Structure 1
């Protein structure tokens, strides 16, 4: 179970890094917000889901 939580945390860190880089670039590019709005919201939803799943999985470790 510990390995599963470590993998979830690794995925969360990698995904967070991708979001930290991609969201400001998208917002700074002219006209990109309208094209990428759904992708950014989907990424934020996936990130929130990963945070919740990681927290729930971590609660089973004693």
Structure 2
């Protein structure tokens, strides 16, 4: 169970780094927001899902 939480946290960290770099680049590039809007919203939804699942699973461990 601990390995699952560690993998979820690793996925959360990697996705967070991608979003921290990707969102400002997308917003600063002309015309890219319209093309990448759905991908960014999906990535944010996945990030929120990972946070919630990690919190729920972690509550069973601690």
Normalising by structure 1, report the TM-score: 0.95
Report the aligned-residue RMSD.
Answer: 0.7
Partner of 1:51: 51
Structure 1 ranges of 4+ moved more than 2 A: none
Partner of 1:8: 8
Unaligned runs of 5+ in 2: none
Unaligned runs of 5+ in 1: none
Aligned pair count reads 62
Normalising by structure 2, report the TM-score: 0.95
